[in-house]
Amino acid sequence: MAKVHKAIATRDAGNGQVSLLGPEPGLTALEKCLLNEYQRGFPLCPEPYAEIAAQLEVSEADVIRTLASLQRRGFISRVGPVFASQRAGASTLAALAVPDDRLESVADQVSAYTEVNHNYQREHAWNLWFVVTAPDQQRVEQVLAEIETVTGLPVLNLPLQRAFFIDLGFPLWC
């Protein structure tokens, strides 16, 4: 459905559950449902928001208004499909080694690029990972260079060697 924006993944030490939004951010039940349930399986029909509304027993206007609010508040950046990037442009996986005290601000800087699909924290020296997708390789390289400049941190560029298709939906709440 959308990329999680301004978010860093955390792992609950008690149960190992990964949460992209960290502690409960005070979202409504409808907001949680839209974020959780429509990352995949988004209706492919002439009126997808009406279809979602019917499934959730709310109005189409409620669905549209809620998605717009989530976008305005930075929880999502867009509602749209995910394509095999190498068929329609260029992409790369990249990482930064970010000091802990700068992690949130650097994640925000990285997320500011429309070419960045998502970013997430990993327990590693290279602790902030993200995917850049652009119309061509030149723009991918330009975005990586700009991120290095604005963050002051070197970018580890990990271009695709072999494609693996995995489900990129993330359970946000159990």
User: What's the pLDDT tens digit per position in 49-76?
Assistant: 999 999 999 999 999 999 999 989 888 8
> How far is CA 124 from each of CA 21, 117, 148, 151, rounded to the nearest angstrom?
19, 21, 19, 18
Cβ atoms of residues 100 and 119 within 8 Å: no
User: What's the pLDDT tens digit per position in 85-144?
Assistant: 566 788 899 999 999 999 999 999 999 999 998 888 999 999 999 999 899 999 999 999
Cβ atoms of residues 62 and 53 within 8 Å: yes
- The residue among 160, 157, 93, 123 whose CA lies nearest residue 8 is 123
Cβ atoms of residues 55 and 38 within 8 Å: no
Dmax (CA) for the chain in angstroms is 48
User: What's the pLDDT tens digit per position in 37-53?
Assistant: 888 888 999 999 999 99
Our separate counts of H helices and E strands in the chain read: 5, 6
What residue type is assigned to position 143 of the chain?
V
